[in-house]
Chain A
Amino acid sequence: MLFLDHIYLIPLFPAFGAAMMFFFGRRLQKATVDAVCVVVVFFAFLFACFTVVEYTHFAHGTGRPFEKIVYTWLGSGDGHLNFVKRDGTPASFNADAGFLLDPLSSIWLLFVTGVGMLIHIYSTGYMAHEGGYYRFFGYMNLFMFSMLTLILANNYMLLFVGWEGVGLCSYLLIGFYYHRHSASTAANKAFIVNRIGDAGFILGALTLSWYLGSFRFTDINTLVRSGHFAIGDPVLTTAALLLFVGACGKSAQLPLYVWLPDAMEGPTPVSALIHAATMVTAGVYMVARSNAVFVLAPTAMKTVAIIGALTAVFAASIGLVQNDIKRVLAYSTISQLGYMFLALGVGAFAAGVFHVFTHAFFKALLFLGSGSVIHALSGEQDMREMGDLGRRIPTTYRTMLIGTLAIAGIFPFAGFFSKDEILWQTWASEGGAYRILWFVGYATALMTAFYMFRLMYLTFYSPSRMSHEVEHHVHESPKSMTVPLVILAICSIGAGWLSWPHSLGGSAHFEKFLEPVFAREAAVFTEEGKSAQLAAGEKESEHTDKTEYALMFLSLAAAGVGWGMARRSYMNAGKGYTEPIAVDAPPLYRVLYNKWFVDEGFDYVFTGRRKIGNIRLGAMGAGEAASWFDAKIIDGAVNDVGWVTRAVATLSTWWDKWIIDFVGVNGPANLARMISYPARLFEWGLVQWYALVMVAGLLGFGVYYVWK
């Protein structure tokens, strides 16, 4: 248990490398940087190998996860939380620095460290003439640290720490050549689009933890699989959809894929490591990790499958006409990620993970190979300026050919097995709609073969279109670059054999290894008979080997047709060749070449830069319109009410001043004065006169009474 107990060292090796670069990197020689950074990744790989071996002894095939909590950050053990989870146990919002190793994370661990190590070795050759050598390796090591944290985390919060870390490193590495405006813009774009996904992820994780009472995967899995929740539970569906939004951002699905093609501004090893083999698979990992939740949310699963399939075909269509060699591979990555999500969405989790595994090898191989081509051509990336490189850089050519055969899904290379498994699982799912998804995947496979062989023909076979100086300097890459290519090529051939399907007589070791992670709840549901979809490893009883053979044959046929079409159009593409799509359907070509105008669409809707006259378009325009409405109309109404009040007040004042005061109050006073004026003339102030009047009155009284 030596290695398992110290599993936290695996991420710490590259973290140490990154720290060294941060503090001392500037003063170090290139050789020292190599010695530190590449060696730490190599140690991480070795350590990971030993750890996984120890884990298989620990688990004995049961797949029970190994969890090691190093430090509990958020604890709740003192009774502050007074709500209980569904099964009666008290809720615990523990977010800890804990590490979880089960079959799923062991697979990821192995290929991340393995491919990472190979790419680090490759980078020593590729980046040898670039500036900022230590900075590059520091960021790469930081990336490895974050990715390993993400993989080994035992709870959503620590996973999110790794999630953010890989996003950060992606930004740093895409913008590595920060003097270039296009690179820094691309880095911003990657980070911002990623952030949108992160918002979804956080909301999903918090919803889950609120609903289920814990962040830890083990707690969540136990609770969800215990049967307390109904299929289609709305809170779980919402949480699953939100988590999927996060996965869309990180793994470049529609509509948050736009950052990945622009991310090719970074150095090629970065594209290979981050945007092909490892970071973009983080979304797939997270969804696979949350499979217990997703299985209970068929709506979410369908959404995942549909978006995966749509992304696959959409990106493949754009890749058909791109001229930059790295862009083709970028769109290819998005398309293959779509396949992975398609697999997850139909319940074939193991098939999706298998495709991640094989894709890591052949996509890293293709990217590193393209890097080798670019290196050979002194920086040229446009395929229109390439050609006839097959005999000049043979190692690169041969390894890239193997990679292309793998991605096109030609038997017996790796991609065939994984892609075929996905297509088979999609076809065999219940419901006619899945046949449509199968067809989408099938069409994508044809397009994949086409554009990959287009790439091969334009780069290696066709007559040379290179400029003269470039042609003179064409040279094969150094050993530091070619050896990783060869190793990856071997893996691309052999990785598929790890899961030789039953129908062809194999025992599908890979899927069996993963079974405990995915199949537990499948058992629950097949027993109760309520599952509407296939779970990994379980197949409908109606399937026959014959259907599977037929589909395999169709896949191979599609790959062959794609290959043939590419060969016909590009084998002999000399200077000034034309794209067949451009010739046959110019409007379609224009749309595809401009990436379906999605970036322009986002620009119009969201950035608020575009105006018609003085009116701003898009979401910001709506905001401006709302603000205008509020200022003019609503506030205008308020102002008008105020005006009316003031008018009424003026009227009231006039009434008060002239009618009430002048007439009402002063009137009687004036009347009294007018009457009293004559009256006071009688007041002479002479007492004797007053006395006389008194006597007169008295006499009057007396006379009156006497006369009466």
Chain B
Amino acid sequence: MVPITTFHYLVVAAALFVLGVIGVLTRRNVVIVLMSIELILNAVNLNLVAFSRMWGNLHGQVFSIFVTVDAAAEAAVGLGILIAFFRNKETINVDEIDLLKW
């Protein structure tokens, strides 16, 4: 058996990150985009915790708490924006949100 090193955690985190990024870039549904953003943040959390385990102190974990709080706030705000936008445009298709077009 291969011992589970920090590296494995980083890979997983990276994979999650990339998935999140692809989700943000390609999905049409705004809610899915928000979920993908959460995914990215969680990947970052995982990364931080892995490094915390590696260094043997709690710095990473403390920082991941901050990130979590930030994610929560951001989700709230993002949903608020989404609802405001839906009231305006009646759609949650990202491609149709182009009011700032030239």
Contacts and interface: CB of A to CB of B under 8 A. Distances in A.
Contacts of A691: 24-25
B25 A685 contact: no
A79 B55 CA distance: 112
Interface in A678-696: 680-688, 691-692, 695
Contacts of B90: none
Interface string B34-76: 0000000000000000000000000000000000000000000
A683 B25 contact: no
B99 interface: yes
Interface residues of B, number: 13
A360 to B, nearest CB: 120
Interface residues of A, number: 12
Interface string B8-46: 000000000000010011100000010000000000000
A683 B24 contact: no
Contacts of B25: 688, 691-692, 695
B102 A683 contact: yes
Nearest to B100: A685
Contact of A685 (B26, B33, B98): B98
A678 to B, nearest CB: 10
Nearest to B21: A695
Contacts of A686: 94-95, 97-98
B102 A681 contact: yes
Interface in A651-708: 680-688, 691-692, 695
A683 B33 contact: no
A687 B102 CA distance: 14
Contacts of B98: 684-686
Nearest to B22: A695
B101 A685 contact: yes
A688 B33 contact: yes
Contacts of A681: 102
B93 to A, nearest CB: 11
Interface string A573-609: 0000000000000000000000000000000000000
A681 to B, nearest CB: 6
Contacts of B100: 683, 685
B101 A687 contact: no
Nearest to B18: A695
B94 A685 contact: no
A687 B95 CA distance: 8
B17 to A, nearest CB: 11
A693 to B, nearest CB: 10
A688 B94 contact: yes
Given A680-B102, A681-B102, A687 B97 contact: yes
Contacts of A685: 97-102
B76 to A, nearest CB: 18
Interface of B: 21, 24-26, 33, 94-95, 97-102
Q: Which 9 pairs across A and B sit closest by C-beta, in order of nearness?
A: A685-B98, A685-B101, A680-B102, A685-B100, A683-B102, A692-B25, A688-B25, A691-B24, A686-B98
12 contacts: A682-B102, A683-B100, A685-B97, A685-B101, A685-B102, A686-B94, A686-B95, A687-B94, A687-B97, A688-B26, A692-B25, A695-B25
Given A685-B97, A685-B101, A691-B25, 19 more contacts: A680-B102, A681-B102, A683-B100, A683-B101, A684-B98, A684-B101, A685-B100, A685-B102, A686-B94, A686-B97, A686-B98, A687-B33, A687-B94, A687-B97, A688-B24, A688-B33, A691-B24, A692-B25, A695-B25
Interface of A: 680-688, 691-692, 695
